[in-house]
Amino acid sequence: MFEVSNETILYASPPRVWTALSSFDEFKRWNPYVRPSGPAAPEAVVEYSFRMNPKKARFWTVDAKLTAYDPHTRLVFQFGFGRLMSLEESYAIHPDPVGSKLVHSFRCTGLVSKLPMKKMQRNFRAMLDVMDRMLQRHLSRDRSKQIPAKRKVRKGFRPDR
């Protein structure tokens, strides 16, 4: 078994982070590696499409089970290939003074996970870093849409009316 995880401070409240994670249709806006689709509910089976390289167009699709679906706190996808290999992608959201702390991880179990897989672990670590940065960017972009822009002050000659 191996596990890789990444902790990120997000400048968004836990409900906003949860909304981004539980809205599977929105994943394509911020996640270059994963595209879940289906019902976002406890114990639901969803289609989990993934790719290891965002430069390649092809996604691999498997059925995944939402083994944890705790609103505003935890979301876990689990899928696998029998006893050969099982993967789990987990998102845990914790309140933080500036917004939220996200603990995002991949855990691999099964026969394949017992092999020395340093390159695969390195790839998963890089994926976590990219996904979490893109989520932060997505949340920042959403926030900028909610804040009204300041009115520009017109300069120059204005005739009296």
Q: Tell me the average pLDDT across 48-56.
A: 91
> Is 103 part of any domain?
yes
pLDDT at residue 120 in the model: 83
For 61, the enclosing helix (H) or strand (E) is strand 60-70
Distance, CA of 29 to CA of 6 (rounded, Å): 21
pLDDT in tens, 94-152: 999 999 999 999 999 888 777 777 888 899 999 999 999 999 999 998 554 544 545 55
Q: Say yes or no to pLDDT of 8 above 90.
A: yes
The rounded radius of gyration (Å) of the Cα atoms in the chain is 20
Instruction: Answer yes or no: is 151 within a domain.
Output: no
User: Which residue range is the domain that position 33 belongs to?
Assistant: 2-144
Q: Residue 147: what pLDDT?
A: 47
Structure tokens at 4: 């890789």
Q: What is the pLDDT of residue 158?
A: 60
Residue 106, SS3? strand
CA–CA dist 107, 57 (Å, integer)? 25
Does residue 104 lie in a domain region? yes
159 belongs to a structural domain: no
Q: Has residue 110 been placed in a domain? A: yes
Range from 8-12, 56-60, 62-66, 142-146 carrying the lowest mean pLDDT: 142-146
Q: Are strands 2-10 and 45-50 parallel, antiparallel or unpaired?
A: unpaired
Whether residue 32 is contained in a domain is answered as yes
Give the global pTM.
0.82
CATH number for the domain that contains residue 44 = 3.30.530.20
d(CA 40, CA 74): 12
157 part of a folded domain: no
In a domain, 27, yes or no: yes
**How many domains does the chain fold into?**
1
